[in-house]
Structure 1
Amino acid sequence: SYQRALTSFTEYFLSFIVKVEKTGVIIDGAALYYSLYYTSDPKLDQRCGGDYPGFKDEVCNFFKTLQDCEVTPYVFLDGGSDPDKRKTLVSRRKDTEEKAKTIAMTKPEDAVPKGCNVLPPLVKDVFIEILQEKDIMFEQCLGEADPVIVSAANQNQCAVLSIDKDFYIFEVHKGFLHLDNFEWKSKEDGKFPAKLYTRSKFCEHFKLDPALMPVFASIAGNDYSKLQDRGRFARESSSSGEYSIKRLDGMLSFLSKVNLDGLNDSQKRERALSEALKHARKKENQTFKLAIRKYVQPEKPSSKLPSWVRKKVEIGKLTTSVISVVDQKSMMPPVLVEDFSQRSSYTAAYRIRQYFYGLLTKDVQALLCNYVVCISILSVWYLSVQAPEGLRRRMFEEALQVQTSALENIPDQLKLPVCVTVLWFNNLKVGQKAETVLHTLLLWFVCDPNSPGYSCSQSFCDSVSNWQPQPHVAKAFSQWQRCMRQSLHLNQLLCSPLPEPQFHLLERDPPSPLGLRFPLLRWSPLVGSGRQKRKKRGGGRRTNRRKRSDY
């Protein structure tokens, strides 16, 4: 592929080793949480909903290493996707669905096939929680983060840390650090090695005018365009590498020979693109010009959302899904690892999504008969003011069909999960064992076999820890997690009428009485073995839990 070939170019010839210490770094947040989850040792669960405590350990260790080396991180996260690359996103989603099917059919005792990575649905939410807890500077962008990252990197004179091939093309003054070569686990004497790439060195090596880098990206292949040259450039290459490398080498050689005398940068790009298309016997296409413009004039994303709502998105207090719904009238939820022969687990959260969409599309009247409540809730968007808490709570109760007044004696950490569980259980269809499934879920809310003070029966906990659920039971818990995620986002949209739970294990002084865990984690052999390994190397966590009688 283009990315693999370009990485090969830079890794072996055009990057140089640096020691990372006492500096700032601009981090592509999405690239980081993908990389940390997929490359964790031991491997984190992808089959059973996600290993969020294990993920937290990995993220905290990463930022602790940066702190020890006096590296100041600035994290930027993607918001809404670029509508111009929707076809690419749909294609990637289909590919991810195939990977999810492969993982779902893999036996629990077998490793996930290489290259079949599917990110669990709550990883981004957990990542943001950790950034907030650790006071890591971050911003959630309103659209694609790339333009904001490049601007911040050049303003602060920092390198960019990512895995995105586009940063080979952008002009980043201090260079690009690829996460695959960012060896933060090899810290020694307050520093660790990494490989730094600079665009200037790349252009110098291939004798390419820097103004033509966007042209190179547009014809080589990116999220917007790719020149179908039928092997013409590869055949003209003198490289001894594989086809993809020959193709890129041939393109770079061709572009370096285009006559650019007397032209400004814009004219250089027009001529180079025209010559490349002629060489490949293709007609000029606006798609390539659009792709070039994304690099030359990267536009910082904007949104139709009210300013105070945009601010909540930027500080991570509101999901970026609101941007997709309001600005693009669509939303693409994460791909799930589940039984694809059955209906999607997302159907369990359909009612909650209706309210989420209704609020954003100003169609609340279709959801509530009370006209006063409709107008009051809509004022959140029309007038940019926060509706009274009672009205926001009423909307949440309507969506989940619960009465929050019954939660008075429930710990704050559990209020939202309990509401979700009520909705989930009322719509649960797992036959006569429905109550057993419910009891198991509730016990995992309040019982931790690793805690010295837990009150659950030891024999019960041991038996459940080794239990492999039937497919319909696993499906039920997958549905619960979907309801939990959508309820979390609805709660954020309504300015948190209920306290927001934490999805990773919290350690406070005194220890937190409860950190929310998902029950499927304990039934996954992969996660179980991972926990034992972390404990042996000193990475495990133990927290005190309340007794069931406390609830």
Structure 2
Amino acid sequence: MGVQGLASLIKNHRTIYRDVRFRKSRLVIDGCNLIYLLYFNSGLDQNRGGDYAAFEDLIEKFIKALRDCEVTPYVVLDGGADYTGKKLETLTLRAKGRIARAHQAAVGDTKEDILPQLVKLTFKQTLARLEVPVAQCYGEADQEIAALAKEWQCPVLSNDSDFYIFDLPAGLLPISYFQWEAVVQSGSQSYIPCKNYNASSFCIVFNIQRQLLPTFAALAGNDYVKLERMDSPVHWTQFCPASSETPTCLEGLLCWLRDFHQTQEAFEAALGLMGELSTKRKAGVLEGLYLGMEEYKLPPSSLKRFFTHGTPPPLPAAEQVAGLVPDWTRLPLTQARLTSDILDVLQLHGISLAFTVGDADMPSMHLTSRPIRQVMYGLLLGKGKQHQVTECDRDGLQLTATLVQPAFTGVSQQLRLSSLDQAEPSQRLQVLLEALGATEASLSRLPPQLRLPVAVTCYWLQRAQPHPDESLLKALLLGISNGEGLRQRAALQIQNEHCKQKLDVRVVHAFNQWQACLKDSLHLNQLLGFPLPEPQIARLYEGTVVHHLVYWMRTGGKLKYFLKSDCSSVKQYQAMLAVVHQLPTQEVSTPSEIQKTAASSQRQPLNDLTANLQQLYGDEDEEAATEVRSAVKALEDIHLDDFVSVRTRYKAKERNNRSKNPELARKEECRGLDFL
């Protein structure tokens, strides 16, 4: 969790740092730390659901800068939550803080450093595409990062203050001083200007023994014991030199430690400063201090063989969790191709849900996607009276814990976690489709990368509360189908308006629900071994763009301004729109009912679909009629008409118009440009 205030202390003693020209080296990167700092320092959107394509571009530039300087990155990510519970108090306080900041960001449209939901998935996908070595730990990554860097004799890139304490022979490169955007060309070589921290320099400046750094960290406060909360806390500032203008606890503690050479004598002296303590209380405090020091002892690296030979590390052997996680999950977990949430469900029977920007007066976005998670819980835990999962979420501004029952679809109850990786592909696909209430036939005519997001959109359209209106659906589908060209036109349009649109918290809530549905569906898809191709997040959603599209439509703007000039994207949009609306609007069903619902809706006649579309768009004007007509035609173009019948007045009218007006027929080859 870091030593609070240590980074600020070192910043005031900059002689500790050494300027370096970093090049031609391995570099172990604290992935989670990098995600936060890259995203928050970039000025990217936080309040409208995230600018994932722009974040992807940023990651690409970062990796290119490293490779231009012959730096080989190895990214290490955190995994599941700590099963010992020692960090529970700290994590609870942080969660409550995020809930409050997420609400403030929504109502005030301010940046409060709240990470959008799919940023981490975008990060993982981008690194995989760029073939950057990535390892996801089973638990917290700090020790694994430090152990690997020590064995490889290379530096760590992070801003986490724990790395100021670890024994790192090649030191730490703080991200704050890592000028990767200012690569310097020197002859035929390039380097990144940065600063290097080494623990030896720290100890020289503060005149303490090197072996006492973990002792210092433990006394400063850790997850096991916090001395400042004792009945008689130690006021370390009293030991600061008289010349200190702004005395701090850390500086006073370091001054006090100068007189000691061994940990034991320092701990005993610290206990003496706390006044009268019972023997039992002293023993408990001393135990907590020593446990805090254990955090900085480095075992042999468990990731070295993974990065060099692809061998995943063994699962934790602790008695509390032994045997709970099947062996086949080790490799996909370490490859970050399987969410670490499954470790929390299996080991703790609990999961902490993300808090993203949203009005706390609205229900949690995760309620919409809970049935998807319940299917995942069923696969992980099987049937059993005790197999409930505690979901940590919010209710208003309060942190809540809700017991959630695992659920089973028609096929999932036949599968076992221990052999899930060996299940028939058709069975694994059917579990995913049953969870989303979709059918293979309706999705199979779409491009592979669109099948999962379209199925999710169908699910969201039926379950989101309040029910998404036309502008929300159109904005989503246009964003998916038009990509970079749409982003560029939207940015130019926003710039030309010379105004910032007020954040609409109801639009934020609707798209938050969609992203939650997508995220949980992606996790279920991962657990099932990718029965559907995983879509690239950066191609699906761009927060500022879709919010602007909704605003544009609701203020009377025509969408043809934002469409690409080629017909393929318009056709793709129409095809997705048709598939989304081929299922009738139905009552929200439980996971056990999904199979029956999907089967009953598989063969909806196209005239019923046309009625659905007509109800959505109305039929009072030719523009709306053309919208319906083109969506129906899109179904034919992707060959969905081989299992639905086509008999509508719009179909007949279209044939009549085409025969009388060849120019209309030609124009509708690029349908969408003139009526959207």
Instruction: Mark yes or no: TM-score above 0.5.
Output: yes
Higher relative contact order (CA 8 A, sep 6+): 1
- SS of residue paired to 1:84: coil
Task: Tell whether the 8 Å contact from 1:474 to 1:520 is kept in structure 2 after alignment.
Answer: no
Distance across 1 between alignment mates of 2:18 and 2:92: 36
CA distance in 1, matches of 2:373, 2:116: 19
Aligned length: 500
Cα-to-partner distance string for 1:26-67 (whole Å, 9 max, x where unaligned): 110011111100111xx1001011111111111111111111
Give the structure 2 partner of residue 168 of structure 1. 164
How far the C-alpha of 1:467 sits from its partner, in A, is 7.3
Structure 1 counterpart SS, 2:74? strand
How many percent identity over aligned positions? 33
Distance 1:137 1:449 in 2: 27
Q: CA deviation at 1:398?
A: 2.1
Mapped partners of 1:294, 1:57: distance in 2: 36
| CA distance in structure 2 between the partners assigned to 1:360 and 1:545 by the alignment | 44
Instruction: Kindly report the root-mean-square deviation, in angstroms, between the aligned alpha carbons of the 2 structures.
Output: 3.2
Go from structure 1 to structure 2 and tell me whether the alpha carbon gap of 1:32 and 1:105 turns closer, same or farther (over 3 Å shift): same
Which residue is 2:128 aligned to?
132
Describe the shift of the 1:9–1:473 C-alpha distance in structure 2 as closer, same or farther (beyond 3 A): closer
- Residue 232 of structure 1 pairs with residue 235 of structure 2: yes
Which residue of 2 is the match for residue 271 of structure 1?
A: 265
Partner residue, 2:297: 296
Instruction: Report the alpha carbon displacement of residue 369 of structure 1 after superposing the two structures with TM.
Output: 6.7
Residue number in structure 2 paired with 1:511? none
Q: Is the aligned partner of 1:403 residue 2:439?
A: yes
Q: Is the 8 A contact 2:80 2:344 kept in 1?
A: yes
Aligned pair partner of 1:121 in 101, 108, 117: 117
Match of 2:327 in 1: 307
| Cα-to-partner distance string for 1:90-144 (whole Å, 9 max, x where unaligned) | 111111222212211224xxx53xxx21111111111010110101111111111
Tell me how far apart the structure 2 counterparts of residues 81 and 16 of structure 1 sit (CA, whole Å). Answer: 35
Q: Distance in 2 between matches of 1:135 and 1:449?
A: 23
Q: Report the Cα distance in structure 1 between the residues aligned to 2:29 and 2:566, rounded to whole angstroms.
A: 34
CA distance in 2, matches of 1:425, 1:516: 16
Identify the match of residue 343 of structure 1 among 356, 363, 380.
363
Alpha-carbon separation, structure 2, partners of 1:406 and 1:126: 27
Task: Find the aligned partners of 1:325 and 1:252 in 2 and give their Cα distance.
Answer: 41
AA aligned opposite 1:427: R
The CA deviation at 1:447 is 3.0
CA contact (8 A) 1:186 1:193 kept: yes
The separation in 2 between residues aligned to 1:138 and 1:400, in whole angstroms, is 30
1:231 is displaced (CA, Å) by 6.1
CA distance in 2, matches of 1:521, 1:346: 23
Task: Tell me whether 1:154 sits opposite 2:174 in the alignment.
Answer: no
CA separation in 2, counterparts of 1:364 and 1:488? 26
Give the equivalent residue in structure 1 for 2:346. 326
Change (3 A) 1:452 1:84: closer
Question: Which letter maps to 2:155?
Answer: A
In the alignment, structure 1 residue 486 sits paired with structure 2 residue 486: no
Cα distance change on mapping 1:5 and 1:53 into 2, 3 Å: same
Within the candidate set 354, 358, 377, 1:357 is matched to 377
Deviation at 1:316, TM superposition (A): 1.6
Matched, 1:203 2:220: no
The aligned residue for residue 453 of structure 2 is 417
Contact 1:453–1:545 (CA under 8 A) maintained in structure 2: no
Mapped to 2, the partners of 1:171 and 1:307 lie a distance apart of 32
* Number of the residue aligned with 1:446: 481
Question: Does the aligned pair in 1 maintain the 2:507–2:547 contact within 8 Å?
Answer: no
Distance 1:187 1:544, change over 3 A: farther
Q: Deviations over 1:170-192 (max 9, x none)?
A: 10111011111111122111112
TM (norm. structure 1) is 0.83
Taking a change above 3 Å as real, the CA distance of residues 397 and 364 of structure 1, as seen in their structure-2 partners, is farther
Report the CA distance between 1:419 and its aligned residue: 0.8
Instruction: Specify the alignment match of 1:548 in structure 2.
Output: 570
Shift of 1:325: 1.2
* In structure 2, distance between residues paired with 1:164 and 1:333: 23
SS in 2 for 1:3: coil
Q: Is the 8 A contact 1:160 1:177 kept in 2?
A: yes
Are the equivalent residues in 2 in contact too, given 1:49–1:521 (CA < 8 A)? no
Instruction: Show structure 1 runs of 5+ residues with no match.
Output: 261-267, 505-514, 529-541
Report the Cα offset of residue 443 of structure 1. 2.8
* Whole-Å separation in 2 of the counterparts to 1:453 and 1:524: 12
Match of 1:535 in 2: none
SS in 1 for 2:196: strand
2:462 aligns with 426
Distance change in 2, residues 1:383/1:452 (3 Å): closer
2:532 corresponds to: 498
